[in-house]
Amino acid sequence: MNQTVAICINLIGMLALVCILWHMQRKHYSFATRVLTALGFGIIFGFILQSVYGANSAIIKESNSWFNVIGSGYVRLLKMIVIPLILVSITSAITNLQDTKVLGKTGALIIGVLIATTAVAAAVGAGYSLAFGLDAGSIQVGEAEMGAQANVAKRMSAFTAKPIPQQLIEIIPDNPFYAFTGQGSSATLGTVFFASFLGIAVLGIKKKKPESAELFCKIITAAHDVVMRMVALVLRLTPYGVMALMTGFISRSNFGAMMNLVEFIIVSYLSLITMFIIHLLILAFTGFNPLTYVKKAVPVLTFAFTSRTSAGTMPLTIRTLQEKMGVSEASANLSASFGTCIGQNGCAGVYPAMLAVMAAPAVGINPLELGFLVKLIIVVAIGSFGIAGVGGGATFAALVVLSTMGLPIGLAGLLIAIEPLIDMGRTALNVSDSMVAGLVTSKATGEANMEVYNQVLAEEEAV
């Protein structure tokens, strides 16, 4: 078949699926139903394309470049509105506070939950590695893995994990306008800090200069309304983005190479699922219905799974926490923002702990020793904060933990074939942890709206 004709057929197939999703939207199918349907469409269409053309064919590559207009375009739209959303939402939330002490308590609780759950995630990952006897020596090494191993060593030589005091200093942006561009390793946290500082400053002039404070609050409220409308417009595209992203991933995946590491994949997902169950237990313990959480979190976690970006999922996370789960505006924004770079349960908890247990025997360390396991959990928990804002979170988290524990870092490169697959689950768990931190904190500060949380989802949702 002519390559151009084949690509046109593939594009027509994608367009037909888009039309089906658009029809479902016009018929007012629920948002969760449309997202899950899109996920299924993407998996099936991706498998069909790979079966017909092969994962490495030029037709697949060219077709995916067009599919990316929808998939990657959607992710870029979400990232585009992240910084404006953080700026206006946090500023607005603080200017509406009656007591600024609530802000400090909220931030401290969120960070505490994120880091504590990461320590638990490390214990879960290490426990599963030990239970299944995973060993770095059992991984089959091919040419691609050898190249990746060398690349990891090179990246480590150029990468130095910043100490926590330095991380704390860099939260304060020396140029807030640079942070607003989203550039730099601490752009998100820098924007959070500036927005908080701005909101506190407004609270400070409410008594002395009420007219100025009132005018500023009206401007922020108007900006908040506009940005939230932008968020709603972008989120309407979620099913289409999910379908295109999943189609691209499935169509180009090397399932043959993945089969060589099938045991690690299975154990990884068992660890991630176990940690997600722990999230549900935490919610149940704090008075939230876990089943309600699952129903309302499905669209968010599905997009996180397919897109593999916590930052890109942030607008959807914030909207769901506020509008569907009754979390206060401050808690929703802070938990979603902090959760993208602090205490990621999947990338900075489960994954590096599993690798550390697997690598330990190579240097004569018994991974069953209590001292080793306790040190590992502590290092993972602290390290999850120490790499805040560094791109490629899972890889760098693994590098920090392995190097700190005195273990070979090359193991991180040997898993290149399955990295995208397990990263999908890790990202979904990271986002879930952000949401759990927001819910638990909102409940602890007495700001949780349980009526909204327990409200049954309507068939027609405003997305």
Instruction: Evaluate whether the domain defined by 3-454 bears CATH number 1.10.3860.10.
Output: yes
Residue boundaries of the structural domains of the chain = 3-454
**The residue count for the chain:** 463
Q: Percent of the chain at pLDDT above 90? A: 36
**Those residues with Cβ within 8 angstroms of residue 321's Cβ, 6 or more apart along the chain or in another chain:** 327, 331, 332, 335, 336, 435, 438, 439
Residue whose structure tokens are 């999703």: 21
Alpha carbon distances (Å) from 435 to 159, 178, 339, 438: 30, 28, 8, 5
Q: How far apart are the first and last CA of the chain?
A: 41
- Residue 408, SS3? coil
Query: Which stretches of the chain score pLDDT less than 50?
Result: 141-149, 158-159, 388-391, 459-460, 462
Specify whether the CB–CB gap between 334 and 192 falls below 8 A: yes
Q: What is the pLDDT of residue 152?
A: 52
Q: Which two tokens stand for residue 101?
A: 């002490």
Contacts with 287 (C-beta within 8 Å, 6 or more apart), sequence order: 443, 450
pLDDT at 430: 92
DSSP annotation string for 76-140: HHHHHHHHHHHHHHHHHHHHT-S-THHHHHHHHHHHHHHHHHHHHHHHHHHHHHHHTT--GGGS-
Question: What pTM, to 2 d.p., does this model score?
Answer: 0.82
Question: What are the two backbone dihedrals, phi and then psi, of residue 415, each rounded to the nearest 5 degrees?
Answer: -100, 20
| Pair of tokens at residue 212 | 């100025």
pLDDT at res. 417: 65
- Tell which residue, 305, 335, 292, 330, has the closest CA to residue 317: 335
pLDDT confidence of residue 187: 76
Cβ neighbours, 10 Å, residue 404: 19
390 Rama class: left (phi>0) / alpha (psi -120 to 50) / beta: beta
Decide if 157 contacts 163 (C-beta within 8 A). Answer: no
Beta carbons of 316 and 235 less than 8 angstroms apart: yes
* Crossing angle of helices 31-53 and 3-26, rounded to 10°: 170
Residue 174 to residue 184: CA distance in whole angstroms: 12
Least Cα distance to 458 among 30, 110, 136, 5 occurs for: 30
